[in-house]
Amino acid sequence: MTVKENFELAKKSYAKWGVRVDDVIETLKNVPISIHCWQGDDVGGFEVNKQELSGGIDVTGNYPGKATTPEELRSDLEKALSLIPGKHRVNLHAIYAETNGEVVERDQLEPKHFENWVKWAKENGLGLDYNPTLFSHPKAADGLTLSHPNEEIREFWINHCIGSRKISEYFGKVLGTPALTNIWIPDGYKDTPSDRLTPRKRLKESLDKIFAVKTDEKYNMDAVESKLFGIGSEAYVVGSHEFYLNYAMKNNKLCLLDTGHYHPTETVSNKISSMLLFSEKVALHVSRPVRWDSDHVVILDDELKEIALEIVRNDALNRVIIGLDFFDASINRVAAWTIGTRNMIKALLYAMLVPNEYLKQLQEGGNFTERLALMEEFKTYPFGAVWDYYCEKMGVPVRESWLEEVIAYEHEVLLKR
């Protein structure tokens, strides 16, 4: 049977439950995923005075073909985007600035250092998001930045974050879609601290100074991201979930939830509904922790499906900003982008093909037998046939055929670097 014939059969199965598959596809086309540029070069960036990766971040593997220039990275992103259905966004870090061989300190970065990225995004119909880079730098060598006891170091990072928000505002104005500026810092201590409060007071004061400089919310959205622990900050992280949740709520900022930044038994999917009750928007960094915050490539596992279900069943596709954050140097980097992003979109499609309203009614009526039975049966409904049709309709490879293109690109481009 053809992809179209399988799709028509699947449509009939879903129609019995009131799921309008054609409408689902039209909706899915307009859901952007923010794809992180740093998978393509192992979080290296293009600074002239490039530093060794730090901040509790580690990338393992030495698969050939890593991007070493902005042109190579954009080429690799274009290849991945050609294999992923829909129109999406690209998420940049400050270390991906292009300074034409000039050493430009991070607190001196300006929109002009990202003009090539903006031009490229415009040509490809992409939005851009942005992150100040508060790691891999001499002024972050002792694991403290915005909470550092040295005022001069704090001011450096405060100015970097202020400049970053202005760069995002520029992205939003030129590209016509608001950019998300996400602040994550590595600050913390390896062993048990004798004072947890003072570093958090300094972090709060630093954030207050950063956000005192106003940007236009039509073009820039501000988010703060927590973490449970990192390499070198095992015992204490200044920017904890509780700290940032309270700060975001009090100061009308977005609280960004990274799926790898919590206790191993804690799930981000379970947090989304609570966040939506009190926040207009919620931001995500979707990763895959294996025993710790290991940033493995996103797979279509139960938690990814549950995250998508929470977004869809709560009618929050326009309220949850979905970004990805993983980096694996042990496999083809273009394949990693393709696998992870396609899986995020698959999870959303899966969630949109579930009769969520009917299942809600069953729960409200106390009919837990039918609720459980149907939730289990829908796990094997033919959503794969709908996915294949969606890919074909969007002009990208169906099923695993995309891998042939990645292998060809590896031989023609990556292995020649």
CATH of domain 32-346: 3.20.20.150
Ordered by start, the domain boundaries in the chain are 1-30+353-417, 32-346
Name the active-site residue from 222, 258, 310, 328: 258
SS3 per residue for 247-309? HHHHHCCEEEEECCCCCCCCCCHHHHHHHHHHCCCEEEEECECCCCCCCECCCCCHHHHHHHH
Place of tokens 């439950």: 17
Name the active-site residue from 241, 261, 271, 305: 261
Residue 222 β-bridge partners? 181
Residue 125, class by beta-carbon neighbours within 10 Å (0-12 exposed, 13-18 middle, 19+ buried)? exposed
- Residue 315 known to be catalytic: no
**Torsion sign over Cα 314, 315, 319, 324:** positive
Question: Quick one: tokens of 134?
Answer: 């508060």
- Residue 296 known to be catalytic: no
Distance of CA 113 to the CA centre of its chain: 23
**Torsion sign over Cα 402, 404, 408, 414:** positive
Question: Quick one: tokens of 77?
Answer: 């992103």
- pLDDT tens across 96-133, in order? 999 999 999 999 999 999 999 999 999 999 999 999 99
Pick from 262, 223, 260: nearest CA to 242: 262
Distance between CA atoms of 239 and 135, rounded to whole angstroms? 14
Is the pLDDT at 56 greater than 80? The verdict is no
Is the pLDDT at 324 greater than 80? The verdict is yes
Give the length of the chain.
Answer: 417
- In this structure, which amino acid lies at residue 59? V
Widest pairwise Cα distance in the chain: 68
Distance between CA atoms of 349 and 85, rounded to whole angstroms? 12
- pLDDT tens across 289-314, in order? 999 889 999 999 999 999 999 999 99
Name the active-site residue from 79, 93, 160, 227: 227
Work out the number of other CB atoms within 10 angstroms of the CB of residue 46. 17
Distance between CA atoms of 352 and 41, rounded to whole angstroms? 34
Would you state the pLDDT for residue 177?
Answer: 97
Provide the 3-class DSSP secondary structure of residue 315: coil
pLDDT band at 54 (very low <50, low <70, confident <90, very high): confident
Pick from 47, 52, 59: nearest CA to 108: 47
Name the active-site residue from 36, 285, 305, 346: 285
pLDDT band at 214 (very low <50, low <70, confident <90, very high): very high
Percent of the chain whose predicted confidence (pLDDT) is above 90 = 95
Name the active-site residue from 42, 169, 222, 225: 225
pLDDT band at 52 (very low <50, low <70, confident <90, very high): confident
Provide the 3-class DSSP secondary structure of residue 35: strand
Percent of the chain whose predicted confidence (pLDDT) is above 70 = 100
Average pLDDT, the chain: 96
- Residue 216 known to be catalytic: no
Question: Quick one: tokens of 224?
Answer: 């703060």
- Residue 285 known to be catalytic: yes
Question: Quick one: tokens of 21?
Answer: 């598959």
Would you state the pLDDT for residue 182?
Answer: 98
Mean local confidence (pLDDT), 170-179: 98
Q: Are strands 188-189 and 236-237 parallel, antiparallel or unpaired?
A: antiparallel
Would you state the pLDDT for residue 131?
Answer: 98
- Residue 325 known to be catalytic: yes
DSSP 152-174: HHHHHHHHHHHHHHHHHHHHHHH
Q: What is the pTM of this model?
A: 0.96
Dihedrals phi, psi of 375, to nearest 5 degrees = -60, -35
- pLDDT tens across 373-386, in order? 999 999 999 999 99
- Residue 258 known to be catalytic: yes
Dihedrals phi, psi of 96, to nearest 5 degrees = -95, 15
Question: Quick one: tokens of 340?
Answer: 């992870």
Mean local confidence (pLDDT), 227-252: 95
- Residue 184 known to be catalytic: yes
Cα-Cα end-to-end distance for the chain: 42
Would you state the pLDDT for residue 48?
Answer: 86
User: Dihedral (C-alpha) 194, 197, 202, 203: value to the nearest 10 degrees?
Assistant: 110
pLDDT band at 50 (very low <50, low <70, confident <90, very high): confident
Mean local confidence (pLDDT), 365-376: 98
Is the pLDDT at 55 greater than 90? The verdict is no
Would you state the pLDDT for residue 339?
Answer: 98
Name the active-site residue from 47, 169, 325, 410: 325
Name the active-site residue from 293, 303, 328, 388: 293
Distance between CA atoms of 385 and 160, rounded to whole angstroms? 47
C-alpha angle 335-336-340 in degrees, rounded to nearest 5: 115
